[in-house]
Amino acid sequence: MSQINLKMINLAHNIAKKKYGQTFPNPTVGCVIAKNSKIISKAVTNKSGRPHAEEIALAKAGYKAKGASMYVTLEPCFHSSKNGSCTDQILRSGIKEIFISAADPDVRTNYKSIKKLKKNNVIVNVGLEKNKTYNLNKFFFKSTFKKKPFTKVKIAISADEKIAWSDYKSKWISNKMSREYAHKLRSMSQAILTTSKTVIKDDPRLTVRLKKTLEHHIPIIIIDNNLKIPMKSKILKDISKKRIIIFTSKKNKKSENLIKLGCEIIFCKLNKNKKLNLKSIFNKIYSLKISDMLVEAGGILFTELLNNNLVDEIHLFKSKIIIGKHGKPAVVGKKLNQLNVTLNERKNFKNDIYTNYQVN
């Protein structure tokens, strides 16, 4: 494969990376159109998910696309949109050769576009820098395969693996730099999952605050078995600016008031252990077109998610603080080093150590 082709597909990936977390539930896709080693146009998936990168790049290129090469990080869509599928638009444009990093796992497209392009005499190359596409859009590939949201757990622990003091009085375990990075993790997530217990104990806002003067809201999902969330919680303020989804078993006056306030209430039956079925909840969340989720809750939910094989990644912030044996554990009944995980990344935030693990 020539260096120019490698350069162009890497450029497409770099363009896509800059928009990561802004195109949910769609993957972020980069596209470059070039002729005689010169770039004609380039584009990335629009924030709303449409138009797709290929459609934008073709519109920019116009008649110059005829006889050119296209470099795209994911297989062009086969299903129709306002102007027809991206595949049909590519065929109409006169593109002569296309480099596709990875096939689209969506059954509506999976290898269908590749076959159609080949059938219509477009030279198709698949697999160039495919790992970059997988790594950038892990949420898309994994959620499409599992039919559940790609789930990341963010957790701050002490040196002795506790997440809180026994009385929950102290608010912070991690330092300011770690907390700032936690907001970056929120900004790269489609939704936040928490519990009513966390809302009651911490009364968080769960907003994205990357800049002091700017507060951004992403959907918040609350698991609340018996509808204990206080009506005066900070999380329920300014509800017109955010989306709140509550899973509960209680259908009563409070649930009616929460609906009037603007919350989406999804009623579920309790299981024999008097808890909501997490796997059913995750299936429902995915059906709401939420395919990427950051969990910010306590050790009990973390443990239950692990036991139900519902965790894909762990974002761990470990401080040098010692809480002691009466503190609340990060994982109930086991140590973190007993988990079957693979290290993705490690960095220091002053005295805090941040590690990102893939759960195997």
335 vs 317: CA distance, rounded Å? 15
54 belongs to the catalytic site: yes
Distance CA 35, CA 214 (A): 42
Report the DSSP beta bridge partners of residue 214.
211
DSSP type of residue 310? -
Distance, CA of 156 to CA of 284 (rounded, Å): 28
Q: In which region does residue 292 sit, left (phi positive, over 0), alpha (psi from -120 to 50) or beta (all else)? A: beta
Q: Three-state DSSP class for 30?
A: strand
349: nearest Cα among 218, 197, 185, 233? 185
Q: Which residues pair with 105 in a beta bridge?
A: none
| Per-residue CA distances from 26 to 46, 77, 137, 234 (Å) | 10, 11, 9, 30
Q: Tell me the three state secondary structure of residue 54.
A: helix
Using DSSP, how many helices (H) and how many strands (E) does the chain show? Answer: 11, 18
Is 233:199 a contact under the CB 8 Å cutoff?
yes
Q: How crowded is the C-beta side of 160, counted as CA atoms within 13 Å?
A: 10
d(CA 195, CA 228): 10
Measured distance CA(44)–CA(24) in Å, rounded: 13
**Sign of the four-CA dihedral 15, 16, 17, 22:** positive
Beta-carbon neighbour count of residue 171 at 10 Å? 9
CB 228 within 8 A of CB 247: no
Give the span between the Cα atoms of 260 and 246, in whole angstroms: 13
Positions annotated as catalytic residues are 54
